[in-house]
Amino acid sequence: MIFTGKVVEMKPSANIAYLVFAVALFFAFAWPEFAGAVGVPYDQKAEEGMDPDGIGFNNDPSREPPKDTLAARNRAAMKKFAAQDYSKLTGFGGLKGFSDEMLNNHFKIYQENVKNTNTLFFLLKRKIHEPENVELNRSLNHEFACMRLHELYFSNLGGNGRLDNKSSLYKDICAEFGSFERWKENFTLMGMMRGEGWMILYRDRQTGSLFNMCASDIGGGLLADCTPVLVMDVYEHAYSPDFHLDREKYIAAFMDNVNWEEAGKRYSEK
């Protein structure tokens, strides 16, 4: 090294100390940026429970983080919503006309909606002041709606398809549509419309009126201050494995399996 024009010879121990100091500076200031750029996991990402590439949360249950760490708290935040178990709809005594394979595949789609909803809620907390927050909210709208609509759909299945003609729901459907059969015909025809993903019998909380509405899981047809009394999924994944393109046959099978007791409970909610 050169100081004030004179050559100063450094001892070997000083060289080692200088090297250690330089390496320490690198890991303190340069390494996190370098690691993020090349996709190498570094301590901060590992501590927070992020994937090694930094893209998303590591939701691999085989890699549970230690308790009482930031990663553990993040993992808990990822479990805000839990997927419900609808396996009772399969097997002996399950839905008539629906194969277990089709139902199990449908459950997986719903479970993915739950997982994605949790992930998006987690990411929104981290990026609340960042521009991509807007797109994350758009995605959350879709995933959350899919999650809730699937839960309503599976929950109003597993019955015998018969609505008690002495129930208030039956009487009010007849009063609104002229007869139960006329309501059913309207519900079926609307469910046959191309391009729609959900068919919903709604009750307006303010007036008590009943009406059928086509809906999508990105907001269209999802009505404020209205109770979804009966929900039917008419996306192709809900029926094509068993019914192929025969949506009308699927709707008839759906109606044969409606749990009207569950629908009645929703209708009675104020």
Tracing tokens 């100063």 back to the chain, one arrives at 8
Coil/strand/helix, residue 7: strand
Residue type, 147: M
The closest of 20, 50, 22 to 35, measured between CA atoms, is 50
Mean pLDDT of 23-43: 46
Chain-centroid distance of CA 108 in Å reads: 11
pLDDT of 25 above 90: no
* Percentage, residues of the chain above pLDDT 70: 66
Which pLDDT score, from 0 to 100, does residue 55 have?
37
Q: Is residue 180 within 8 Å of 174, Cβ to Cβ?
A: yes
Q: What tens digit of pLDDT does each residue of 36-85 get? A: 433 333 334 434 444 433 334 444 545 555 655 555 555 555 568 999 99
Mean pLDDT of 20-39: 51
Tell me the CB-side half-sphere exposure of residue 198, using CA atoms within 13 A.
27
Q: What tens digit of pLDDT does each residue of 83-127 get? A: 999 999 999 989 999 999 999 999 999 999 999 999 998 888 776
Considering the chain, what is the average pLDDT of its residues?
Answer: 80
Cα first-last separation, the chain: 83
Bridge partners of 267, per DSSP, are none
Cα–Cα separations (whole angstroms), residue 100 to 115, 239, 245: 22, 12, 19
Residues 6+ apart with CB under 8 A from 229: 169, 200, 201, 202, 203, 210, 263, 266, 267
d(CA 249, CA 86): 23
d(CA 113, CA 147): 5
DSSP 258: B
Which pLDDT score, from 0 to 100, does residue 49 have?
46
CATH number of 168-268: 3.55.40.20, 3.40.50.620, 3.30.70.1290, 3.40.50.720?
Answer: 3.55.40.20
